[in-house]
Chain A
Amino acid sequence: MTDVAQIRRDAAQTRRWGWWYVTELRLREMKAYISYVVTSSFGNPLMYLLGLGVGLANLIPDGIDGVPFLVFVGPALLMSTILTIGAEEGMYPVLGGFKWHKIFFAIHATTVTPGQIVGGFLVHLAIRFTFTAGVFYLMLVAFGAVPLGTGWLMIPISILGAFAILTPLAAYSAGIEDDRGQFALIQRLIVMPMFLFSGTFFPLSQVPDWLEWIGWVSPLWHASQLGRTVSYGLVEPLWLTLLRVAILAAYGVIGAILMRRAFVRRLTR
């Protein structure tokens, strides 16, 4: 006779922590490319800050928005770096988990639920974003580009922004059968324009009016503006600041719901 109650109890125990097992697995997998993550976490901010911040500042001696150019552009560079990683992580790694190395199917064969797979996936990325954004933040501080003490809030903001872009993309990626170049198209026709026309290097008002809507739908613009608010005190009405947070949260939450649904569908069909 098997003890059904005991089996249920055991399963419940593993189930409660299922998301963490997934996180752990992905952290362990990261070992294979950890040197790349660390190198690029230090290298990329340095390059961008020197190349686009310090370098371009020479052409804009008066600064923008009443602050030096580097201070103006710093938060946006941080956001665009983290959000870019977010967009990347929402594409190939998700499809790959279903199609190539099939790791999601392997995990699902245990007691872990699809929802926990999504949860663990996101928690792992949150850890990674925290690290990369933290390094970037410290580097900005070292360059003297963060006047306010609230500047560290850029780290959670960048995670919010990254999830805003990552989860909807991941929901899409979990649903497609095959990479027939959709990712390249998304990258070039959605992600790229969003990054270029989202007031990273100049205030959004500089882009032609008929392109300004791109900024409004782009998580990057909202994240950058929030970053500027906490970093050097960009003056915006409170309702607008709250609206930005709400927009990012809405993207993230709706995206996560869709992502979970796509995972369930793919894993159980």
Chain B
Amino acid sequence: MSAVTAPKRRFGGMYGGNARAIIERGFKATMTNNYLIILSGFFEPVFYLFSMGVGLGGIIGTIDLNGTEISYGAYIAPALLAVSAMNGAIYDSTWNVFFKLNFAKLYQTMLLTSLGPLDVAIGEITLALLRGGIYAVGFLTVMSIMGLALSPLAIFAIPVVILIAAGFASVGMAFTSYMKTFQQMDWLPLVMLPMFLFSATFYPISIYPEPIQVLVQCFPLWHGVELVRMFTTGVFTAAAWGHLAYFVVMLGTGVIVVARRLRSLFLR
């Protein structure tokens, strides 16, 4: 008789109940190959913070946030945190997934075992979120040392950042499930670059004319930036609930689409 006991039937054969094994593999792969790269990822937002916060901050001085004057560094730091959560989550759920699916054929290997597509999706997203969470902790530490975390509530920015990353990752994976070639992926920067530049990252959106402001507010990064900024500065408004709701809906929608696409994505 076989050494392996058959997993129970769950979610129409989509789930083998062993996402842990995927996470384990992720750790092992990181250890053998690219812990340096993972480590270096932490520096990206920190460099930005030094450059823009200190360099540009020296010229700009302070900025008005809903009536509270805060230093320019304290203004952009949370934005950089949100941006790095977005970038990491999008990278992991698009390029990375696309590569492992179509070139490394890694997911095909995983699916030859008693794992299901859902194990793969859960495992990979968990890994991405873990990594994002670790970066967030590191970045917040740097912020605190530089005196840019103005509120004790800043600590709660970590779960918030993970929620933001999860939102982006789920939508990114849904997007990837429709992609056929690498060329189509070129679309991504076309959406991400303007989001990065215009989402109240470097200055308040009040400088824009009204219609542009509304447009910016449609995109997720703005909500992410605003939300994280509330936690690190301690300047809250009721809009926080709206931002939270935005990401909950985004995550939910992404997950539903991904769940529906799992079969066509993995079991072609």
A residues near B (Cβ < 8 Å) are 32-33, 36, 39-40, 43-44, 47-48, 50-52, 55-56, 58-60, 64, 180-181, 184-185, 188-189, 192-193, 196-197, 201-202, 206-208, 211
CA distance in complex: A202, B56 (Å): 6
| Interfacial chain A residues near B59, Cβ < 8 Å | 60, 64, 202, 206
Nearest CB of A to B114, in Å? 31
Q: Are A196 and B51 in contact (CB under 8 A)?
A: yes
| Interfacial chain A residues near B33, Cβ < 8 Å | 180-181
Q: Are B190 and A43 in contact (CB under 8 A)?
A: yes
Nearest residue, chain A, Cβ from B42 = A188
Contact of A181 among B37, B54, B190, B194 (CB under 8 A): B37
Contact of A47 among B41, B50, B197 (CB under 8 A): B197
Q: Contacts A44-B193, A208-B54 given: A36-B186 contact, CB under 8 Å?
A: yes
Q: Are B54 and A207 in contact (CB under 8 A)?
A: yes
| Interfacial chain A residues near B246, Cβ < 8 Å | none
29 contacts between A and B (CB under 8 A): A33-B186, A39-B190, A40-B189, A47-B193, A50-B197, A50-B198, A51-B197, A55-B197, A55-B202, A58-B207, A59-B203, A60-B59, A64-B59, A180-B33, A180-B34, A184-B37, A184-B40, A188-B43, A189-B43, A196-B48, A197-B51, A201-B56, A202-B55, A202-B56, A202-B58, A206-B54, A206-B55, A206-B58, A206-B59
CA distance in complex: A141, B74 (Å): 34
Q: Are A207 and B51 in contact (CB under 8 A)?
A: yes
CA distance in complex: A60, B52 (Å): 13
How many residue pairs link A and B with beta carbons under 8 A? The number is 89
| Interfacial chain A residues near B58, Cβ < 8 Å | 202, 206
Nearest CB of A to B30, in Å? 11
Interface residues of B in 169-196 (CB under 8 A from A): 183, 186, 189-190, 193-194, 196
B63 on the A face (CB < 8 A): yes
CA distance in complex: A211, B58 (Å): 15
Nearest CB of B to A208, in Å? 7
| Interfacial chain B residues near A52, Cβ < 8 Å | 197, 202
Q: Are B44 and A188 in contact (CB under 8 A)?
A: yes
| Interfacial chain A residues near B40, Cβ < 8 Å | 184-185, 188-189
Nearest CB of B to A159, in Å? 23
| Interfacial chain A residues near B47, Cβ < 8 Å | 192-193, 196-197
- Beyond contacts A180-B33, A189-B40: 4 other A-B pairs, Cβ-Cβ < 8 A, are A44-B193, A47-B197, A197-B51, A201-B55
CA distance in complex: A43, B37 (Å): 30
CA distance in complex: A185, B198 (Å): 28
B36 on the A face (CB < 8 A): yes
CA distance in complex: A211, B202 (Å): 22
B60 on the A face (CB < 8 A): yes
| Interfacial chain A residues near B56, Cβ < 8 Å | 56, 201-202, 206
Nearest residue, chain B, Cβ from A188 = B40
Q: Are A56 and B202 in contact (CB under 8 A)?
A: yes
Nearest CB of A to B210, in Å? 16
CA distance in complex: A59, B206 (Å): 12
Nearest residue, chain B, Cβ from A204 = B55
Q: Are B194 and A51 in contact (CB under 8 A)?
A: yes
CA distance in complex: A180, B51 (Å): 28
| Interfacial chain B residues near A47, Cβ < 8 Å | 193-194, 197
CA distance in complex: A197, B53 (Å): 12
| Interfacial chain A residues near B203, Cβ < 8 Å | 55-56, 58-59
| Interfacial chain B residues near A202, Cβ < 8 Å | 55-56, 58-59
Nearest CB of B to A210, in Å? 12
Nearest CB of B to A204, in Å? 9
B11-55 CB mask vs A (1 if < 8 Å, else 0) is 000000000000000000000011011001101100110111011
| Interfacial chain A residues near B63, Cβ < 8 Å | 59
